[in-house]
Structure 1
Amino acid sequence: MLIRISLVLSYILWCCRFLVAPWKYFQLNANYFNQDLHIFSKLDMDLLIPEQWRLLQFVDKGDDQTAKNPDTYPVFLKPEWGQNSQGVCRIDSPEALQQHRANRPVHGPRYLIQAAAKGKREFEIFFIPGATSDQSSAIISVTETCNHSDDEMPVNGIYNKDTYYKSCMPELNTQQIQKIEMLFSQIGSFRIARFCARADSLEALLNEQFSIVEINVYVPMPLILLIQEMTLTSKLKFIFASMKQLALVTKDIPASQPVKSIFFQKLQSARLLKSKLKNELS
């Protein structure tokens, strides 16, 4: 919580410094907001991923007779919108899938089925591009998401007590960081994003042998800030640098870009998702 507060306060201060309205934050990726569904749809994000990095993913129609079933297991079930792995679960068999479908409320969230990525390791790439008006450099961090358990395909996240994080930045030189920046900047024109990719190694990631599991473009947490070994001074330095960059990118939003009422729609979607997931578990 303190980290999020520090991020917000730092962003507001830099916005004031650059004479930018802080509430424009919610317009950063507004071009990708689905007005009909009132969410940043995972299916919409999926279409932006180059085919060689894309996992098979489709809408799960539940017990509908036209419902498509996976050819192989395990697969991952996830709400079409959600954060911090909320509502995501691994399905290991047709029986488990049918049980999940049977327990869903009639008017619950729409679920997607995603094929399991073959990569053994999970990497999170946090990215803020350079600002055009200020000729500033991009902010990028590469963090490995690890797990203390023996599970080869865990659902990692802040709600999984076995999840922990490790920085990959000391292992990367300038050219390699630039290579990762080049690769992931091909996926949409996001002004802030966090990509989750699975690969067998950091070398495989650099060699484009990876799959994109998810793209988070709404208040994505820089997971590098969750590394326990990272000093407070280093965390504050990253927060100030990244929020300065984000304020500059916010300043670059063209006046011609249509304004969308994202905050309140997302707040409502989050409340509905939390309520419906609670009903599924009860």
Structure 2
Amino acid sequence: MIIRILLILSYVVSCIRLCVKPWYYFRLNAPYFNESKGLFSKLDIDRLIPNQWRVEQWVDDGTREPTEFPVFVKPEWGQNSRGISRADNLMQIQQLRLQRKASNMRYLVQEAARGAIEFEIFTIANHQDLAKHAVLSVTQVNNTSSDKFPINGIYNKTTQYHDITPKLSREQLEKISQHASAIGKFKISRLGVRANSIAALVAGDFEVIEINLFVPMPLVLLCQQRRTIDNIRFVFNAMYALANVTKQIHKNQPHKAIFFRKLGLMRQHTIKENEVGNESH
């Protein structure tokens, strides 16, 4: 919570310094927001991913069953691993469908990625060239459980983060930056990918499992090996870069009510989670 507050305050201060309206933050990735659905649709964003990096996923409407397990069932709008469940067999898929029978939220089934190691790539675009990045960090995600296919996330106590950015050369970071740009010209993003090694990640041999465009948390700030002073510097530099990108947003860019639409969806999902929890007791 402290980190999030620091990020917000730093961004607001940077916007004030640059004479930028802080609420324009919600316009940063607006071109990718599906206004008819009121969300950053995982299906829409999935279509941006080049075929060699894409993990197959589909709407879980009961007309198609997985041929291999495990699979992951996730809400179309979700982020930070909220609402994701894993199904190891057909019976578990059917149970998940029954639990959300009364829900009007659309869920997706995603096949498991093949890579052995999970990485999170956080980016902020360069305000002078949106195809490049002013901020890029790479975090390796570890899990202390014996689970081969864990659902990692900031709310999972067995998930640990390790900053590997300092280990990467300038050339390697440039390669990863190019990979991220090939997916989309996002002004701020966090990409979750799986690869068998750091070398494979750099070489482009990976699969994308998640793209967060709403309020992506730079997971590098949760790495225990980093010093507090390094995190503070990262926050200030990253948020100043983000404010610079925000300044480039054209005044005539179509306005979309992203904040309130997303807030409403999150509230609906929280209510549904509570209802499911009460039914299971």
TM over 0.5: yes
Cross-structure match for 1:95: 91
* Residues 1:69 and 2:69 are matched in the alignment: no
Which secondary structure state, in structure 2, belongs to the residue aligned with residue 19 of structure 1?
coil
Q: TM-score, normalised by structure 2?
A: 0.96
Aligned counterpart for 1:241 among listed residues 208, 218, 237 = 237
Q: What are the within-5 Å matches in structure 2 for residues 250-261 of structure 1?
A: 250-261=246-257
Is the contact between residue 109 and residue 276 of structure 1 (CA under 8 Å) also seen in structure 2? no
1:106 shift after superposition:
1.7
Alignment of 1:4-19 (within 5 A): 4-19=4-19
- Residue by residue over 1:34-86, the C-alpha shift from the partner in whole angstroms, topping out at 9 and shown as x without a partner, is 11110001001100000100011000014xxxx10011111000010112211
Deviation at 1:133, TM superposition (A): 8.2
Please report how far the alpha carbon of residue 108 of structure 1 lies from its aligned counterpart in structure 2 after TM superposition: 4.0
| 1:116 alignment counterpart | 112
Residue type of the partner of 1:180?
I
> Which amino acid is 1:52 matched to?
Q
1:209 alignment partner in structure 2: 205
- Which secondary structure state, in structure 2, belongs to the residue aligned with residue 256 of structure 1? coil
SS class of match (2:182): coil
Deviates more, 1:100-109 or 1:243-252: 100-109
Letter in 2 for 1:47: R
5+ residue gaps, structure 1, are none
Aligned-pair distance for 1:273? 1.1
Q: Give me the CA root mean square deviation.
A: 1.6
Give, in angstroms, the shift of residue 137 of structure 1: 5.8
User: Secondary structure at 1:233's aligned position in 2?
Assistant: helix
State the distance in 2 between where 1:119 and 1:133 align.
31
1:43 has 2:43 as partner: yes
Counterpart of 2:17 in structure 1: which amino acid? R
Shift of 1:228: 1.5
State the 1:255 CA deviation: 1.8
Q: How do residues 1-282 of structure 1 correspond to structure 2 at under 5 angstroms?
A: 1-62=1-62, 67-132=63-128, 138-282=134-278
Structure-1 separation of matches of 2:85 and 2:244: 38
Cα pair 1:108 1:276 within 8 Å, conserved: no
Residue 24 of structure 1: SS of its match in structure 2? helix
Q: Distance in 2 between matches of 1:159 and 1:240?
A: 25
Per-residue deviation, residues 103-127 of structure 1 (Å, max 9, x unmatched): 2232242110000000000000000
SS at match of 1:129: strand
Contact 2:124 2:133 in 1 (8 A): no
Residues 60 and 111, structure 1, Cα contact 8 Å, conserved in 2: yes
